[in-house]
Amino acid sequence: MLKFTVLWIASLLTAASALAQAPAADSCEAKAVSKDGKPLAGAAKAASIKKCEADSKGAAPNCEAKAVSKDGKPLSGAAKTASIKKCEADAKGGK
């Protein structure tokens, strides 16, 4: 019985560590896949991640600056969030 319990705990720890290391669905590492859906490796993966991170960093500050009302005052709260979301969606669709 002790052997079974030890094996069960070990398998839980292994599964938990595997899940903790999986990249988030919206991360650049998760998006580094080829045209046929296979994960990239090596230099291609590094280049893809670098481009993704540059694209994501470049869009946010620009969209933050554009989040202003018609009379030029900075937006806040839900209006700011919606404006930034729309700006980022437009930026991704336009590229």
The pTM for the full model equals 0.39
Q: Which of 5-9, 62-66, 70-74 has the highest mean pLDDT?
A: 70-74
- Contact between residue 67 and residue 75 where contact means Cβ atoms under 8 Å apart: yes
43: confidence class by pLDDT, cuts 50, 70, 90: very high
Q: What's the pLDDT tens digit per position in 6-22?
A: 877 878 777 666 555 55
What does the domain layout of the chain look like in residue ranges?
Answer: 21-94
Q: What's the pLDDT tens digit per position in 49-61?
A: 888 887 776 655 5
| Burial tier of 32 (Cβ tally within 10 Å: 0-12, 13-18, 19+) | buried
Amino acid type, 31: K
